[in-house]
Structure 1
Amino acid sequence: MERHLLVTVSEKYDNLFAVRFVGNFFATKEEIKVTLLYLTPRPPRVFEADQETEFQAGKSEAIGRKALNQAKGELLKLGFEEDQVFTRLRPRRLSKVNEIIQEGSEGKYDAVVVGRRGLSWMEHAFNESVTRVLFEGTWDFPLWLCRKPEPERKHVLACVDGSESSNRMLDHVAFILKQAQNHDVTLLAVSRKGKVGERNAEEVLKKGRALLVEGGVSTDRIRFKVIHEVSPGKAIIKEANGQRYAAVAVGRTGAGMGLLKKVFVGSVSRALFRELEGAALWLA
């Protein structure tokens, strides 16, 4: 089955982190389709339109098309074929975060991939309303956040807690890794006294393995790790950096208040969002 990824693009060639992550993560590109998205600035309201604004709109479109062509060229250099890469120029009418979410929902993509520039949009607007959009909204696609991913990294760290959201995340990891055979997966349970929330850590890991196998990942590609740590965010970052994982996958909500939401609004203060570098963060 084909995997279709939406990858956001900026005009800065040096900031094509999302593009390069996708190109480097998949050793073989068969069954992968990529749509590159560039958002132009908000168009003026009708009564504000004049010759100057029309000129600026045309200039923005030209910049966007150049950025899309550069990003496409980068993917072709990394092994994609011409007919696997599509481009989309979208005039922005909402906030950039909401525009990406709307495009991701409308396009039925298997994941939306955001690079450093997209992350800066989110950081700039990171307040209560954006937190709700990211963690409590109705968007139903996985989101990959790429801050300076390192191309030589391998494998996926999947952080599990036995919740429905965690299980959905594992479905997504299995769907991607069934194609990306060059990567294995480690199931990580951040435990307190043998429990992940109210669940037994060992049972959470066994259930996680079953879901991955059901999704097409062979047992020899699945490993386990239990860390006894009060702060999930610190534990995840330390493990990701120590073992140099290419991606860290977390469910968007979890047991109780939600693992990911705790990481973002608790004492770790959004550490995973702002401090995870080298590896992509997959929210599913």
Structure 2
Amino acid sequence: MIPVRDLSPAELAALLHFHADAGVEWLLEEEAVDRIAEFEAMRAARGAPAASVDRPAPPRPEPPRPVAAAPLPAVAIPDGQAVAEAAFAAESARSLEELRVAMEAFNGCNLKTSARCLVFAEGNPKPRVMVIGAMPNADDDRDGRPFSGRQGVLLDRMLAGIGLDRAGLLVTNVVPWRPPGNRPPSPREADICRPFVERQIALAEPERLLILGNFAARFLFRASETIHQLRGEWREVAVAGRSIPAFATLHPQDLVSAPISKRLAWQDLLAFRAGLTA
């Protein structure tokens, strides 16, 4: 084992990020405890002869003092004011780069406090097609890019199958910060993020939207059905006075979890390609 003192700052930071991704949040003891020595002492005590009645019992050891937990960092509590502030910040942006700056400065969503970085839209700022997923995963949060890692490779293959190149599209997520443990965003967190993704759509002015997965489809279609009920059909998404044709299909993560669903996704992608030429 390498002592902590021998690690460089970069190696130590990487180690801390590894523990954070693994779910380690609190240190329960300030110093290491030798559990083996404790066990040997307890076994020796059980095997010792009983003390005489006339002999006073040895004083009981003082129980260890509990280690005080570190105070929780202050987090932003989502409320109606946070939604209004998000809408104001989004509307004030006149370009995608200005919107990125506004979102980096925004502190009204508590998801930002647990994420490593903002995962903003990437690609062509004026695309014909805009691809929208749900939220960043651990790979995206680490790299600062939407659809990184294995899901990104699968998305690139899905797009290439219908003649689309990711470099010519704009790819983003409904929620720009990774929720802890990849949990679904709460309704209030989604409300706070809505002005930002809608402003991205308004500034990019795409001709078509390709929506990936259950959460994103429900969010943008304002529907309660599942992705299997929403997929495979053209619908309309109203943003900034425009009605944009939108098509939902399965998220790459759905195909990783259930490879049998690739057949359905391929049917959807063919229908989406047909709609681009209509």
TM-score range, shorter chain: under 0.3
* Larger gyration radius, structure 1 or structure 2: 2
TM-score (norm: length of structure 1): 0.26
- Hey, which of these two has a bigger chunk of strand by percent? 1
TM-score (norm: length of structure 2): 0.27
Tell which has more relative contact order, 1 or 2 (C-alpha 8 A, sep 6+): 1
